[in-house]
Structure 1
Amino acid sequence: MLTAMEQDKQLREQLVKLLRGGQAFKTRDEILQGISLEEAGKKAANLPYTIWQLLEHLRIAQWDILEFSRNPQHQSPEWPEGYWPQEKAPANEAALNKTLHAITTDLEEVINLIQDPANDLFEPFPHGNGQNLLREAMLVAEHNAYHLGQIVIIRRLLGEWE
């Protein structure tokens, strides 16, 4: 029988694996590897968004969840306009790289919150409506998996994925 401390440790380890991906499909890094400036701004037929718009949406939503989880003063963007960019393509390679880097960096910050045993996974935040760190970590994992899957589909439709 596992102790409460051992159960807590296992739960945190499983959350980190879930957030990093790669257990049921490719990792985030594998999915995003090699996205070019041109590819990011291409629109596949009959889809309302580009890879760039999905990347920016993923970045903004993940950042918002991270900040909500660690900063009681955080103000979320307006929904939905604050979560979706109007631009179909990145302005330049630097903008694309900045977004890709922020997605990775912010995810690692979420993981750092999860790995810190001083952060109770189950204690509701003093702000919000009963959300806790466990819920927010699972929300990041679910949201990222959903949009990473969309990116794979778009890359396939554009002929950029095996």
Structure 2
Amino acid sequence: MHRDELLASPLAFMPPARLLDGLTPEEAARPITGVKHSIVEILAHMVYWQAWFLSRCTGVAAPMAEHAAEGWPAAAAGDWAPLREQLLEGLQRALELPENGRVDPPIEFPPLAEYTIGDAITHIAQHNAHHLGQIVILRQMLNLWPPPDGSYTW
């Protein structure tokens, strides 16, 4: 599978840029009864971990969050556009990383200690896919689906 298919132009689901299209900042921040995080909060979480993995792939020894809550930064309506841009820019950066090589220095968390750059990119893609699926469901709950260019219809 090509890296672009994993990150930016997946064949199994709608590309991230298109999936996020058509939401206003207010819609993205709208709370839903019984749901812990709004769309913009999920996006902030995705950006946080994507940026962390990308920094590790480029030799920055950024420490891993000690607690899961640290990976859920606060986000509000005004953060929507910058976060969306950061996510998409991060995907582009991931596409430009070298094909081979280890994450160096190694990640201090034992299950990730042997990660290659390819492993980290796969991790980013899986994590993003999980949360993009949540965003689709939240958009459906808010009657904001499909995005302006439509959805897959088979």
Bin the TM-score by the shorter chain.
0.7 to 0.9
Tell me by how many angstroms 1:70 deviates: 1.0
Correspondences of 1:78-93 after superposition (within 5 Å):
78-87=66-75, 89-90=76-77, 92=78
> Are residue 127 (structure 1) and residue 106 (structure 2) matched?
yes
What is the match of residue 149 of structure 2?
none
Identity of aligned residues (%): 25
Any idea what the Cα deviations from partners look like across 1:75-125, whole Å, max 9, x if unmatched? 2333312210244x33x2xx2211111001111111100xx3xx525x463
What is the match of residue 34 of structure 2?
46
Whether the 8 Å CA contact 1:72–1:127 is kept in 2: the answer is no
Aligned-residue RMSD, C-alpha: 1.8
Distance, in Å, in 2 between the alignment partners of 1:126 and 1:99 is 27
Partner secondary structure for residue 34 of structure 1: coil
Distance, in Å, in 2 between the alignment partners of 1:120 and 1:86 is 34
5+ residue gaps, structure 1: 1-10
What is the match of residue 68 of structure 1?
56
Tell me by how many angstroms 1:45 deviates: 2.5
Any idea what the Cα deviations from partners look like across 1:27-53, whole Å, max 9, x if unmatched? 101110011111111122321110011
* Mean CA deviation greater in 131-140 or 76-85: 76-85
Aligned residues: 141
Structure with the larger helix share: 1
* Mean CA deviation greater in 47-56 or 67-76: 67-76
Distance, in Å, in 1 between the alignment partners of 2:11 and 2:124 is 16
* Mean CA deviation greater in 123-132 or 26-35: 123-132
Correspondences of 1:1-162 after superposition (within 5 Å):
14-87=2-75, 89-90=76-77, 92=78, 95-113=79-97, 116=98, 119-121=99-101, 123=102, 125-128=104-107, 129-162=113-146
- Rg larger in 1 or in 2? 1
Structure 1 stretches of 4+ moved >3 Å: 123-126
Whether the 8 Å CA contact 2:53–2:120 is kept in 1: the answer is yes
